[in-house]
Amino acid sequence: GEDVEQSLFLSVREGDSSVINCTYTDSSSTYLYWYKQEPGAGLQLLTYIFSNMDMKQDQRLTVLLNKKDKHLSLRIADTQTGDSAIYFCAESLNAGNMLTFGGGTRLMVKP
């Protein structure tokens, strides 16, 4: 079955880069996503990547995909205190399908 895993917690200092990692088991995964959730709020789509891509960059965010190792990472450059939140990776087999989520990584940014 599908399984998506993330480390639980990451702490960085303001201004440093943050790297949040995710592994998945289903090699059929076609779309991979990163969402941000702040306390008591819904999920904000940060970015997504197709499985035929290795990298995607969007302003401070860089997504790297190693399809061979089924490893996805999200790098946040110049991390700010406002980036403190829980970050979920998710995968989907097809466009418009349900998402399978990882357990979430809590990012804490210290001033």
Partner 1 sequence: GAVVSQHPSRVICKSGTSVKIECRSLDFQATTMFWYRQFPKKSLMLMATSNEGSKATYEQGVEKDKFLINHASLTLSTLTVTSAHPEDSSFYICSAPYVAGYEQYFGPGTRLTVT
Core vs surface per residue 82-96: b (16+ CB within 10 A) or e: ebbbbbbbbbbeeee
Q: Give the 3-state secondary structure of residue 81.
A: helix
With beta carbons less than 8 A apart as the criterion, state whether 63 and 41 touch: no
> In angstroms, what is the minimal distance from the CB of 15 to partner 1?
27
- Helices (H) and strands (E) in the chain — how many of each? 0, 11
Q: Candidates 13-21, 34-42, 60-68, 69-77: pick the segment binding partner 1 (CB under 8 A).
A: 34-42
> In angstroms, what is the minimal distance from the CB of 56 to partner 1?
12
> In angstroms, what is the minimal distance from the CB of 13 to partner 1?
24
Q: Candidates 21-29, 31-39, 51-59, 76-84: pick the segment binding partner 1 (CB under 8 A).
A: 31-39
Rule CB under 8 A: which residues touch partner 1? 31, 33, 35, 40-45, 48, 88, 92, 94-104
